[in-house]
Structure formats: C-alpha cells, structure tokens
Amino acid sequence: MTKETAIKSAFQVASEKYAALGVDVNKAIDSLQKIALSLHCWQADDVTGFENQGGTLTGGIQVTGNYPGRARNIDELRADILKASSYIAGNHRLSLHEIYGDFQGKVVDRDEVEPVHFQSWMQWAKENGMKLDFNSTSFSHPKSGDLTLANPDNEIRNFWIEHTKRCRWISEEMGKYQEDPAMMNLWVHDGSKEVPANRLKYRRLLEQSLDEIFSTPYNYMKDCIEAKLFGIGLESYTVGSYDFYLGYGAKKGKIVTLDTGHFHLTESVADKVSSLLLFTPEIMLHVSRPIRWDSDHVVILNDDLMDLAREIIRCEALDRVHIGLDYFDATINRIGAYVIGCRATQKAFLQALLEPSALLQQYEAEGKYFERLAMQEELKSMPWNAVWDMFCLQNNVPVGDDYIAGIQQYEKEVTSKRN
C-alpha cells in the first residue's frame, strides 16, 4: 500500500466513526482550512528586530538559548518565514513588531516611524499571499525603563504616546493595502519590582495615554490591548494587569488580547473566552506556553491548548477570535519551532471541530452527566489523526513527521551557515 493510499483508507475509516457520532469530517476540514493563524515574526530572530542590531532585549521578557542560525536581517527573516509556512497547511498571517521595519540602515527612532518603513513588508506579504498584523514596541529602547505609557515624566510618556499613535497609523495603512484590517496589539511592560506606594497613579496615567492614543478613529485596523501578570524584574506590579485591560476593553469597546502565558498557572484561559465574547468586541489570542511562569515555550498540543480551541468552537466564535502565536525559543531550530507551534494549534482546532457538540449538549440538557463525561473520554481516542493526515495531504504539506527532514536540510544548507 502506498503512503497516500494508507492515508486515504485510514481517513475513510475515521470518517465513518465520526459520522456515527453525527460529525461530518469534511466540514471540519473545511473549517480548519479557513483558520488563519498569525505567525509572530519574532521567533525567527529572538525578538531582536532591525533597529539597533545587537541591542539587549528589555521590558521584562527574555529569550534563552543560543542555537545557531538566528535570522540576522530582513531577507533572512523573510526566507525563514516562507520556509516555515511551507510546512503549515493553509493561508496565514504574519505579525510584525515595529522594530522589524525596513529601515534601510537608517536610524529611525520610535517616534519617527512611518508607514513607508513597512512598504516593502506590505508588498512582500501580498506577493506571498499573506496578511499582516502589527505591534507597537515599547521594549529594548533607551527610553523603555520600567515605565512607558504610564510614566509620570511627560516627556517620556509623550514619546511613547507618539510611537503608539504612529503604529496605529501604520496598521491602518497595512489594513488598507491588504483590504483586510490589521490587528494592532498594544503591550507595554510598565510595572515595578516592588509594590509601588501608589498603584492607582500609574493606572490613571495608562488610561489617559490610551484615551489619547485611541482618539483617532480608523477603519482598517483593530486595536488590541494585552495584559500581563508580571515581567522579569517587574514582579510585584504590572500597570496593565488583566483587570485593567478587561475594564478598559469592556468600557471603551477594545479587543483584549489573551496571552496564554500571562495568567496564574492554574487559571483557565479557555474559561475567559465566553465572558469576553459577551462584553468585548472580539478576542485576540497570543497562543504561548508557560512553564512555571511566562516562559514563552514553543506551543505544543497540550490540554490547555485543546481546552482553548474547544471553547472557541463551542462558542461558534471563529469569526470573532484572532489566533496569534507568541513564543520565543532559541535553544532549538527556530523554523522548526514555528512549525511545531502552528501545527499543534491546528491540531487542537481540528479536534475541537470534530467534537460532536450537538450530542454533548443534548446529554447536558437532559441531565445525563455520566453520558456526557463518558463521551468526552471516548473522544480522546477517536482517530482524529487520520483526519489531520488527510488535511495535510490535501494541502500538499508534509504528513506526520515528514517535515523534520526538510527542516534538517534547510538547517544544513542555510541557517547553519549564519554566524
């Protein structure tokens, strides 16, 4: 039996098993095909960017590892993204940080950046069938310190307000160019190592800064605000906590970004989805993997990810949830890290799409809780992987572990030669 015949016959068996539960596997595949992930550009180069090569990463985030092959310039980064995409089924987006502008060797400070610095990215993305998302960058800059948009020093605060306003303008131009809104994520690291004597003061300042930043209405970009529990060196207090942004988002109609690494480890991010859907316009996700803390490990197919995907599907909210990835691992092949995380996310959504939700909900409505629990247990060993293989086959991307060899070869020929 050829590999292809084996995949097809396993798929046939799986289809019948799922059909018996009232699940149409082809419908699940069609839905998965439409899910666009937003790949984070910063896994390719350890969040360095092209602004001041070799500068240190600040803002309470950290990349560990020194695996060879980091993308050193815009061409290498683009090549790596395309390589990773070739192992990921479907059409996806790319999320850029401001420090990844095409600055042509010029020094462009954060309060001087303009859409022209992203023109080549827009063209490149269009040529490669990708859409762009954007992020303002408050870290790794002489004015970053511990406080940016919440800084009591007006000169510094205004500098970051100007930066963020310009980033919204850039996002708007991206959105127009690609005829699809660019999601702009706003995350600032503002916080302190010890508990401040006045917590309210900085939150008031952050609120004022946001009001000023958002005062310009735009049509082709969407604002997202990302909360965090703590940063490294900023452990005791985060100005933009979850309560802060949830309150702001609900009151002012802004999208809250849920980074799955930004909560207490036993807190369920999946459980937040249905509440946000009721009180905020849409949801932006940063799919990540915390180990003990916001460690930004490569996303894998674990219970947290599956819970999150299931919740989004159960809420029928795919059209209101934007799925971005956010992690950075410099200890393994960086292209491989993208592929693992993206494929894991797709696998989680596939399993969620294969859930016989009508049956589970019927059991629940009838108070048949044994049956509901038993069915959920049985679903864990249903042949979803046969559907996954078919999805990969249909999309002409490697099935199973076949992508490992391709990434090894790219490492041998390309990334290992970078010093």
Nearer to ligand RNT, 45 or 326 (CB): 326
Active-site annotation holder among 133, 146, 226, 329: 226
Q: Which does 133 bind (CB under 5 to 8 A by kind): Zn ion, ligand RNT, none?
A: none
Nearer to ligand RNT, 304 or 326 (CB): 326
Token reading at 297? 């490990």
Q: At what angle do helices 384-394 and 25-34 cross, to 10 degrees?
A: 50
Among 80, 98, 326, 411, binds ligand RNT (CB under 6 A): 326
Identify the three-state secondary structure at position 148.
coil
Token reading at 64? 């560990």
- Residue 42 in the binding site for ligand RNT (CB under 6 A): yes
Residues that bind Zn ion (CB under 5 A): 259, 286, 326
**Which class for 210: exposed (0-12), middle (13-18), buried (19 or more C-beta within 10 A)?**
buried
296 counts as catalytic: yes
Active-site annotation holder among 124, 187, 384, 388: 187
286 counts as catalytic: yes
- Residue 350 in the binding site for ligand RNT (CB under 6 A): no
Q: What is the DSSP letter of 398?
A: -
Q: Which does 353 bind (CB under 5 to 8 A by kind): Zn ion, ligand RNT, none?
A: none
Q: Which does 61 bind (CB under 5 to 8 A by kind): ligand RNT, Zn ion, none?
A: ligand RNT
Helix-strand-coil split of the chain, %, nearest 5: 50, 15, 40
- The whole-angstrom separation of Cα 235 and Cα 247 is 22
Q: What is the DSSP letter of 57?
A: P
Active-site annotation holder among 190, 326, 329, 411: 326
Nearer to ligand RNT, 134 or 384 (CB): 134
252 counts as catalytic: no
Q: In 202-292, where do the E strands start and end?
A: 221-226, 237-238, 255-259, 283-287, 289-291
Active-site annotation holder among 80, 146, 207, 259: 259
**Which class for 138: exposed (0-12), middle (13-18), buried (19 or more C-beta within 10 A)?**
buried
Contact positions with ligand RNT (CB under 6 A) in 228-247: 228
Nearer to Zn ion, 133 or 326 (CB): 326
Reference 348, options 278, 285, 408; nearest CA is 285
Among 28, 32, 39, 61, binds ligand RNT (CB under 6 A): 61
DSSP symbols for 140-189: SSTTTSS-STT-SSHHHHHHHHHHHHHHHHHHHHHHHHHTSPEEEEE---
380 counts as catalytic: no
Q: Which does 47 bind (CB under 5 to 8 A by kind): Zn ion, ligand RNT, none?
A: ligand RNT
Residue type at 349 in one-letter notation:
F
Catalytic residues: 187, 226, 228, 259, 262, 286, 294, 296, 326
- What are the residues binding ligand RNT (CB under 6 A)? 42, 47, 61, 135, 187, 226, 228, 259, 286, 294, 326
